A and B are shown apart, each in its own frame.
Chain A
Amino acid sequence: MAGAGGSRATLPKDGGTGRGLELEPAPGGVGCDVSTFPPANFLSGETWTSGEGGESGAELGSDRLLLERITFGPSYADRAMMAAIGREAYLARQLAYETIDDSALEAELSARYPWLLMSVPEMVAAWVEEIDVEHAEVAITRALRSPRQLFERVVEMWNDHFNITSSGLTMAWTRAADERDVIRAHAMGKFRDLLGASARSAAMVIYLDNARNVAVAPNENYAREVMELHTTGVGAYTEDDVREVARCFTGWTTHLPNAGDQALTFRFDPALHDDGQKTVLGHVIPGGGGITDGETVLDILASHPSTARHVSARIARHFITPAPGSTLVDRLAAVFTASGGDLREVVREALSRRSLAHARPKFKRPFHFAVGVARALQASMTYSGQLRLKLAQAGHMPFKWETPDGYPDRTSYWAGALLWRWRLAASLMYNEMTGVEVDVPGLMFGARTVEQVAARIDSIVFGGAMPMTTRLLLEEYLRVNRPSNGVMAEALGLAVSSPEYQWF
């Protein structure tokens, strides 16, 4: 019972009569007290009870839904903690993410990836290579292992919202800094700060060609996308506004890669700036403003009513429903406006009971699926490179989407590629991926009959909510095949390959 913190674990209900075929016992397992399940090593001192902890069905469903939405797939530890401290406390803790200690994980990561602590000039001086690949590995590792699950889900959202493709060393260095200094630094802060940091992010400046945006020939790329994608959305501005915003941002550029301790950092060049008068969304910006022109534009955009709605709709789609209605979006937008664009408050509202009443199933994108499987199965991951390769095959490797709109979140886009999921599940279950280990005997420890094994799988993968049809099919599979750890692994692989597991 080491580490189980005194709260006695309750086995998931077996449901059946126990008449089923006896499976071969796990190593050293005969006669062991089944209450040692789940293995203490992944409880990390958290208390644990089964997912059935005495609440009403509706409450349970609603708690389960919240857990699904704020994690990359709940693990036992997540379910245990919510059951122990209750829904509201759990959510409050995840929202106050700074209070959750992730120092062990971060220390491990920065030891492995020293560039995580480097400024861009330091990365240039050290000529850090392979960083786009390593950056993706860091993202996978954090999603899988960070106790700050909600924070990582918010970061995932902003990484798409302010998408920048990491390709080539210049982009990879600056993108790594962008994620740290822009996205992660402001993910739950004020939207204006996030937007402002993004506008001065070397990665964004280079990616959307603002480094080429000069008075004599404005480049409209950033000007268009900062409105269309980052703030107001289409419809709020005209082509004239695009041209005027581009003029405002002329001269926002970066130092060259050979600029020593300023290499590839933001720089405003007054000589390249168009200092004439501009009109943006009806606001006259007087001439002679220099760098303040761009800041004024960001003020206008951040406080524009369309931005409150556009950003709120993004948050609603990410956490609540693929197609949020206006009631929901308006309420989030009201919080956005009233709080001065405080993203934590909008996220808090999005995860409230009344907002989640609008929830509809969301299809897991490949990243969410892969990380979720590994979390559910308590995979111990010492290296995420193999998962990264799998995600590249699925077209969902972090930081690799080519266009500034970020990875799509449409069911129709991702749902066709079930085969990739089935293959990934099998690879994980057979421990074919170097650096990712699933301890099937440990997970199944003490479960002996077909019904017990199926119940255990239900508990691990679905938190006790496995549909009966899937349960019966898995039991049949266990019954007709030679029982072994291999067959139990296959049954686990089938469970995460099932239709219900593809949604959250």
Chain B
Amino acid sequence: MHDRSLGLGGACGCEEYRGLSRRGFLGVAAAAMAAPAWLPRVAMAADHRSSRDVIVSVILRGGADALTMCVPWGDPWYLGLRGALAVPMPGSGLNAATDLDGYFGLPPAMLDLLEAYNAGRLAIVHACGSPDPSRSHFDAQRYLEIGKPSDMTLATGWLARHLLTSEPVMSDGVLRAMSLTPGLPRVLAGGPRTLPVADPLNAGLTGRPASKASRQQVLADMYALGDEPLRSIAEQTRATIALLEAIDFRGYAASGGASYGPDPFATALKSTAALIKAQVGVEAVSIELNGWDTHASQGIFAGGAMATLMQTLAGGLKAFHRDVIQSTNINVVVVAMSEFGRRIAPNAGMGTDHGHAGLMLVMGQKVKGGKVHTDWPGLDHPYDDRDLAATIDFRDVLGEIVRYRLGNAALGEVFPGYSVVDRGVVVH
């Protein structure tokens, strides 16, 4: 990308301009910026509306404990192997699981998911994971996000490659993907027209209002004549400022009786809802809820660390379900995933160490919900003697979403080297 060998200055492409007069140079700069491709299209005509779902990727970093999030209470080994960290059987009083299907159940902190589950719009995919044995957070997150286990060289995310191999929903749209995080996660690395925006509510340039436009123009000119990747990022940034300033995030009113909590995760989902409803061509949104690395004092019941996280996750998804999935005709698919699950047996600190298979949550209008999709391996058939075995590859779930909900058949490029197996999680 950058071929400068020095830290600063040097070969910045000045040579080609040396022969130009200053006026001539500025004319070149102006011409480069003449096409108003960045102008927002906030009021989008209905016939532009895509048949493709908008995807919301939710990454749960840290290794979320799937055996607590969706309790396999029907597995005869569950209570014994989970010991002090077992969620009590349905009907057994305080803290008991709520049955879903006669085999799996939700712990109290996840009950906010029931509404979407019972409406048939939330699917749980259990015993799902990667064929790679790594128990390293960083390697496993990398594999999850690039969509290729055991690969240490691929630099782009699977969601980015989906965007790269599909036509934009809106050809002149400003932004195809946005991550509501300070930095850009790997899942979107390399994506076209993709930006991280930590705070969509404060998107404009600061400083003297009277000079804002001209300062913005100088920045545009500087970056238009600079190198990639910053050239594209700056162009998208300028367009995104206009786009976000045109959306009233502060005045956003949720539909369907939805109530978003004050936590950052709910706030991100609320901003996502506003962005989706504005129909500005954003096809993918990435958000995160982190902190699932519960080695000690896991706290699966009210007030505990993991219970609080589960409550945040389920509460946010409940609001989003009511506000967007139940109340609009814009199809959205939300997929929540973690880099791995946790060990079957707890450790002495009332926590669990890194394990293998986990679960995925898939929510949307066109999801085969109200069901726990699994090929349950049984806790008596553990992976590597101690972890939940993965019987569904995470790429099966993502691949099905990409093919059928995002309308992209180029699975060989999105998930290179893998043949996606249809698991029937989404409507085809």
Please measure, in the bound complex, the distance between the C-alpha atom of A61 and the C-alpha atom of B8, giving whole angstroms.
Answer: 8
Judge if B295 is at the interface, Cβ distance under 8 Å.
yes
Judge if A275 is at the interface, Cβ distance under 8 Å.
no
Known: A212-B295, A234-B136, A463-B8. A497 touches B183 (CB 8 A): no
User: Could you tell me the distance in whole angstroms from the C-beta of A474 to the nearest C-beta in chain B?
Assistant: 7
Give per-residue flags for A462-496: 1 if the beta carbon is below 8 A from chain B beta carbons, else 0: 11011111101111110011000011001001100
Please measure, in the bound complex, the distance between the C-alpha atom of A412 and the C-alpha atom of B347, giving whole angstroms.
Answer: 37
Give per-residue flags for A69-109: 1 if the beta carbon is below 8 A from chain B beta carbons, else 0: 10000000000000000000000000000000000000000
User: Could you tell me the distance in whole angstroms from the C-beta of A324 to the nearest C-beta in chain B?
Assistant: 15
In the complex, residue of chain A having the shortest beta-carbon distance to the beta carbon of B220: A473
Interface size on B, residues (CB 8 A): 80
Structural contact, B226 and A499, CB atoms closer than 8 A? yes
Inside 8 A of B136's CB, which chain A residues have their CB?
224, 228, 234
Known: A64-B8, A393-B182, A408-B183. A212 touches B208 (CB 8 A): no
- Dominant secondary structure of chain A at its interface with chain B: helix
In the complex, residue of chain B having the shortest beta-carbon distance to the beta carbon of A362: B7
Report which of B17, B139, B198, B233 forms a contact with A415, defined as CB distance below 8 A.
B233
Structural contact, A224 and B218, CB atoms closer than 8 A? no
Report which of B6, B211, B222 forms a contact with A473, defined as CB distance below 8 A.
B222
Please measure, in the bound complex, the distance between the C-alpha atom of A465 and the C-alpha atom of B9, giving whole angstroms.
Answer: 5
Structural contact, A212 and B17, CB atoms closer than 8 A? no
Would you list which residues of chain B between 1 and 48 have a CB under 8 Å from chain A? Answer: 2, 4-10, 12-14, 17-18, 22, 25-26, 29
Structural contact, B196 and A416, CB atoms closer than 8 A? yes
Structural contact, B184 and A416, CB atoms closer than 8 A? yes
Inside 8 A of B231's CB, which chain A residues have their CB?
499
Would you list which residues of chain A between 195 and 210 have a CB under 8 Å from chain B? Answer: 208-209
User: Could you tell me the distance in whole angstroms from the C-beta of B195 to the nearest C-beta in chain A?
Assistant: 5
Known: A217-B347, A403-B61, A469-B25. A412 touches B189 (CB 8 A): yes
Inside 8 A of A494's CB, which chain B residues have their CB?
215, 218-219, 222
* Stretch from A145-153, A186-194, A420-428 at the B interface: A420-428
Inside 8 A of B234's CB, which chain A residues have their CB?
418, 499
Judge if A402 is at the interface, Cβ distance under 8 Å.
yes
Please measure, in the bound complex, the distance between the C-alpha atom of A371 and the C-alpha atom of B73, giving whole angstroms.
Answer: 54
Please measure, in the bound complex, the distance between the C-alpha atom of A493 and the C-alpha atom of B206, giving whole angstroms.
Answer: 11
Judge if B62 is at the interface, Cβ distance under 8 Å.
yes
Judge if A446 is at the interface, Cβ distance under 8 Å.
no
Structural contact, B198 and A472, CB atoms closer than 8 A? no
Structural contact, B226 and A221, CB atoms closer than 8 A? no
Give per-residue flags for B319-351: 1 if the beta carbon is below 8 A from chain A beta carbons, else 0: 000000000000000000000000000111101
Please measure, in the bound complex, the distance between the C-alpha atom of A427 and the C-alpha atom of B213, giving whole angstroms.
Answer: 16
Inside 8 A of B133's CB, which chain A residues have their CB?
239
Report which of B17, B179, B197, B229 forms a contact with A468, defined as CB distance below 8 A.
B17
User: Could you tell me the distance in whole angstroms from the C-beta of A309 to the nearest C-beta in chain B?
Assistant: 15
User: Could you tell me the distance in whole angstroms from the C-beta of A184 to the nearest C-beta in chain B?
Assistant: 26
Would you list which residues of chain A between 342 and 360 have a CB under 8 Å from chain B? Answer: 359-360
Judge if A260 is at the interface, Cβ distance under 8 Å.
no
Report which of A361, A416, A487 forms a contact with B233, defined as CB distance below 8 A.
A416
Judge if A405 is at the interface, Cβ distance under 8 Å.
yes
Report which of A209, A432, A487 forms a contact with B351, defined as CB distance below 8 A.
A209
Please measure, in the bound complex, the distance between the C-alpha atom of A467 and the C-alpha atom of B13, giving whole angstroms.
Answer: 9
Please measure, in the bound complex, the distance between the C-alpha atom of A499 and the C-alpha atom of B215, giving whole angstroms.
Answer: 14
Report which of A68, A416, A430 forms a contact with B208, defined as CB distance below 8 A.
A430
Would you list which residues of chain B between 210 and 230 have a CB under 8 Å from chain A? Answer: 211, 214-215, 218-219, 221-223, 225-227, 229-230
Please measure, in the bound complex, the distance between the C-alpha atom of A466 and the C-alpha atom of B14, giving whole angstroms.
Answer: 11
Structural contact, A422 and B219, CB atoms closer than 8 A? yes
Structural contact, B12 and A413, CB atoms closer than 8 A? no
Structural contact, A68 and B291, CB atoms closer than 8 A? no
Interface size on A, residues (CB 8 A): 80
Give per-residue flags for A423-452: 1 if the beta carbon is below 8 A from chain B beta carbons, else 0: 100110110100000000000000000000
Structural contact, B384 and A239, CB atoms closer than 8 A? yes
Known: A64-B6, A219-B353. A477 touches B218 (CB 8 A): yes
Report which of B4, B137, B181, B226 forms a contact with A361, defined as CB distance below 8 A.
B4
Structural contact, B233 and A61, CB atoms closer than 8 A? no
Give per-residue flags for B180-207: 1 if the beta carbon is below 8 A from chain A beta carbons, else 0: 0111111001100011111100110111
Structural contact, B241 and A467, CB atoms closer than 8 A? no
Structural contact, B7 and A65, CB atoms closer than 8 A? yes
Known: A224-B135, A239-B384, A415-B230. A500 touches B183 (CB 8 A): no
Please measure, in the bound complex, the distance between the C-alpha atom of A500 and the C-alpha atom of B9, giving whole angstroms.
Answer: 7
Please measure, in the bound complex, the distance between the C-alpha atom of A228 and the C-alpha atom of B139, giving whole angstroms.
Answer: 10
Q: Which 7 A-B pairs have the closest CB atoms?
A: A395-B182, A212-B349, A465-B9, A217-B348, A426-B207, A499-B226, A467-B12
Q: A360-B2, A361-B4, A403-B290 are in contact. List 14 more A-B contacts (CB 8 A).
A: A64-B6, A68-B8, A221-B293, A242-B135, A395-B183, A403-B61, A411-B229, A417-B182, A426-B205, A426-B215, A465-B8, A477-B218, A499-B234, A500-B12
Chain B interfacial positions (CB closer than 8 Å to A): 2, 4-10, 12-14, 17-18, 22, 25-26, 29, 61-62, 133-139, 155, 179, 181-186, 189-190, 194-199, 202-203, 205-208, 211, 214-215, 218-219, 221-223, 225-227, 229-231, 233-234, 237, 240-241, 290-291, 293, 295-296, 346-349, 351, 353-354, 384
23 contacts between A and B (CB under 8 A): A61-B9, A62-B6, A65-B8, A239-B135, A359-B6, A395-B198, A402-B291, A405-B137, A411-B229, A412-B229, A413-B185, A415-B233, A418-B233, A422-B219, A423-B206, A426-B205, A469-B17, A477-B218, A494-B219, A497-B222, A499-B230, A500-B12, A502-B230
